[in-house]
Amino acid sequence: MQIDYAKEVATMKEVGYYDKNITNGVVVMVEPYSQQKQIQQVVHRILDANLDRAREGLRIIEEWCRFGLNNAEMAGECKHLRQEVAIWHTAELRAARDTAGDPGTELSHPQEEQRSSIKALLQANFCRIQEAFRVVEEYGKLYHPNMGKAFKQMRYQVYTLESDLMGYQRHQLLWRSRLYLVTSPSADLLSIVEAALKGGLTLVQYRSKDADDSVRLEEATKLQQLCHAYGALLIINDRVDLAMAVDADGVHLGQQDMPIAIARQLLGPQRLIGRSTTNSEEMQKAIAEGADYIGVGPVYETPTKAGKAAAGLEYVRYAVKNSSVPWFAIGGIDVNNINDVIDAGAERVAVVRSLMQAEQPTLVTQYLLSQLNRVQPDNPSMF
């Protein structure tokens, strides 16, 4: 029997099963129906693998919401999503599974072998879920007319959940933080900050008023990586753009900086915004505008705020009674006067020179925290 290759090519082109780039022009004699079944089987395997991946990732997030945060609402949202995914994970799709023949089971990456913190673990699994949902959204269009639309909506729900959860974690760690290091320019910036982190510090503000933007970007990036590794928060002084560029946890604004509302629009609801205040009027305004925390000071005169009169301990006492958000007494506080500030009612303090100029930042951090923790026992950060 003689085969009319030109006719076969024309027929295969018509039904969509001929690609010169793949076959090099050679006609492959495969029945369209048979090839369609093979493609269907591949799609089923892809959907099964990614539905499994999404369910596993959701369970990991759910367990942290339940046991780590004791947050029934977020845990319930994860469970609801997981059950919705399970509805689509049919016996037909699971029957297509071929674990032994899957080359992907041997693939791995060093970053998957360990997690530096709970934050890193959660972010990795959110990425895992979102990627899996995107795959299901596309391939699902070949399986069921409503599958793509359903998983598109679920993917957006996961984005919202991630934003809410990571924002919740930041706020929880902010409330637990007793000591706040505000950096000053130093050739040993990273080593000083790391020494303080080793002493238990969980909140750092990068402050560099006069450096070039290229230097700021480099230093802020390295600080973000360092704080991330220790499970600490990094706040950027003044610069919302820099905070966004390095994926920092928030920004600290002075009285002359942009309005909190504008910063919130740029940063979104999940990141932290702090505001410096020097009197009761500034405090109440900052709280009303939505500051997540405030600085209260300067308690003592300090070269960091040259020419600015000290607000004194009276302002600290006012904050004790009137601040509804976390606040940090700041300005000239050191190992010699911290107990006076604590006696005035402060539970949190921010320092600059006390740590940046300390010979042993780790020990000074531990001492300051020990004094603050005797006022209110510290609940160690789980993040």
- The residues, any chain, with a CB within 8 Å of residue 269's CB and separated by 6 or more, are 163, 167
The neighbouring-strand residues paired with 327 are: 294
Q: Is the dihedral of CA 85, 88, 93, 94 positive or negative?
A: positive
Q: How far apart are CA 127 and CA 58, in angstroms?
A: 11
Active site residue 370: no
Neighbours of 303 (CB within 10 A): 10
Query: 């399970």: which residue's tokens?
Result: 86
Active site residue 276: yes
For 34, 123, 208, 355, the CA distances from 223, given in Å and listed in that order, are 57, 19, 13, 16
- C-alpha–C-alpha distance, residues 313 and 319, integer Å: 10
Q: Which residue from 127, 181, 186 is spatially nearest to 155, judged by alpha carbons?
A: 127
Look-up of token digits 């959204």: 137
- Residue partners of 239: CB distance under 8 A and separation at least 6: 216, 251
Structure tokens at 208: 């560099």
List 55, 155, 271, 276, catalytic entry: 276
- What does the alpha-carbon distance between residue 197 and residue 45 come to, in Å, rounded to a whole number? 46
Cα end-to-end span (Å), the chain: 73
DSSP 8-state symbol, 96: T
Residue 246 makes CB contacts below 8 A (sequence gap 6+) with 217, 220, 221, 223, 224, 234, 236
3-state secondary structure of 229: helix
Which residue in the list 53, 207, 264, 271 is annotated as catalytic? 207
Half-sphere exposure of 369 (CA within 13 A, CB side): 24
Please, is 60 exposed, middle or buried when counting C-beta atoms within 10 Å of its C-beta (0-12, 13-18, 19+)? middle
Residue 186 a catalytic site member = no
Q: Which of 177, 305, 323, 354 is catalytic?
A: 305
Residues with active-site annotation? 207, 276, 305
